[in-house]
Amino acid sequence: MQPEQRPPSETGGESSRQSGSRYRREEIVRLATSTGLASVEELAGAFEVTASTIRRDLAQLTAEGRLARTYGGAMALLSHAEPSLRQRIGEAFEAKRGIARWAARQVVAGETVLLDAGSTVGALAHELRWTSPLTVATTGLTSIQALADAEDVHVECLGGTLRHLSQGFVGPLTEAALERMTFDRVFLGADSVTADRGICEAELEQTRLKELMARQAERVYVLAHATKLGRRPFHAWAQLPDGWTLVTDDGAEPGAVAPFHAAGVEVVVVDAEGHVAGPPD
């Protein structure tokens, strides 16, 4: 069934496939950081795989923020990459920035806002650098880094146990700090969000925290780019109070947005510039 003109390149059967790819990606990072620059062709030859495979590796490593993509290959981002840089390299950057820009415009100078962890909310923090006076409380390391040198913004870190994966804080310390504060607005991120059940996360600890965050604020926004809508990847859910607002990007299918409208959720669809793009409501 397959064309047999397949090049007879003596690829041989690699004994273990999964660990092979994992090892290869580590090696790619190592090579790139030591030589500074590595080409796709070079890497394909060195590991005896096709260029497509290398490109997939580079795409993933780039999304993880461990490499920077160049035209014919990849380069190491020097030592400790700037948070803003890693952020921009990450996936769906345009959509996230658009969402962040719209969200930033909702914040009125003088307010106190609460920011969740996550890259989209981190982008919002970056936009809020120019809003002052402003008090920002957050459970996300990304947001703190974005505002670390914004002299005019008052930053409160809620503390807690650092989740390395999401770069956010959770746990009793976070909840105890939250219970002592209320906010004008809260901006929540999500691994996934549905109209009926709300926010879906990997751990119950995260969903409990998000529910608490939502309770402490007057207005609740969920920032989720298009691919986050309607999926059910995990089994921990955070129910949201009535009257919350979903902010997503114009890559969202109408069919993905409709259930939220039907459920009475205010939905805002924005383009990459942060302007409302969808049907007015």
Partner DNA sequence: CACGTCATGCGCGGAATGCGCTAGCCCCTT
Partner DNA sequence: AAGGGGCTAGCGCATTCCGCGCATGACGTG
For residue 135, give the nearest of 116, 159, 152, 158 by alpha carbon: 152
Give yes or no for residue 73 binding DNA (CB under 7 A): yes
Amino acid sitting at position 32: A
Nearer to DNA by C-beta: 57 or 127?
A: 57
- Annotate each residue in 53-92 with x if it binds a copy of itself (CB under 8 A) or - if it does not, as one string: ---------------xxxx---xxxxxxxx-xx--xx---
Q: Which residues of 11-37 are buried (b: 16+ CB within 10 A; e: fewer)?
A: eeeeeeeeeebeebbeebbebbbeeee
Angle between helices 18-35 and 40-47 (to 10 degrees): 130
Q: Is 24 in the site for DNA (CB under 7 A)?
A: yes
Q: How far is the CB of 53 from DNA (least distance, A)?
A: 4
| Residue number, 58 or 267, with CB nearest to DNA | 58
Q: Does 7 bind DNA (CB under 7 A)?
A: yes
CA distance 202 to 86: 23
Q: Does 155 bind a copy of itself (CB under 8 A)?
A: yes
**Token pair listed for 196:** 């009926």
Q: Select from a copy of itself, DNA, none the partner in contact with residue 174, using the beta carbon and a kind-dependent cut-off of 5 to 8 Å.
A: a copy of itself
Closer to DNA at the Cβ: 154 or 235?
Answer: 235
The answer to whether the beta carbons of residues 245 and 265 sit under 8 Å apart is: yes
Spatial distance between the Cα atoms of 55 and 201, rounded to a whole number of angstroms: 30
| String of contacts with DNA for each residue 82-111, x by CB under 7 A | ------------------------------
CA 61 to CA 255: how far, in whole Å?
32
Decide: is 195 part of the binding site for a copy of itself (CB under 8 A).
no
Instruction: Identify the helix (H) or strand (E) that includes residue 67.
Output: none
- Please report whether residue 148 would count as binding a copy of itself according to CB under 8 A: yes
The minimum distance between CB 175 and a copy of itself, in angstroms, equals: 11
- List b or e across 217-253, with b for residues whose CB sees 16 or more CB atoms inside 10 angstroms: bebbbbbbbbbbbbeeeeebbbebeeebbbbbbebbe
13 is a site residue for DNA (CB under 7 A): yes
**73-75 vs 37-39, strand pairing mode:** antiparallel
Contact of residue 264 among a copy of itself, DNA, none (CB under 5-8 Å per partner type): none
Q: Is 34 in the site for DNA (CB under 7 A)?
A: no
The footprint of DNA (CB under 7 A) covers 1-3, 5-7, 11, 13, 15-18, 20-22, 24, 40-41, 48-53, 55-59, 69-73
The footprint of a copy of itself (CB under 8 A) covers 35-37, 68-71, 75-82, 84-85, 88-89, 141, 144-145, 147-151, 154-162, 164, 167, 169, 173-174, 176-177, 180
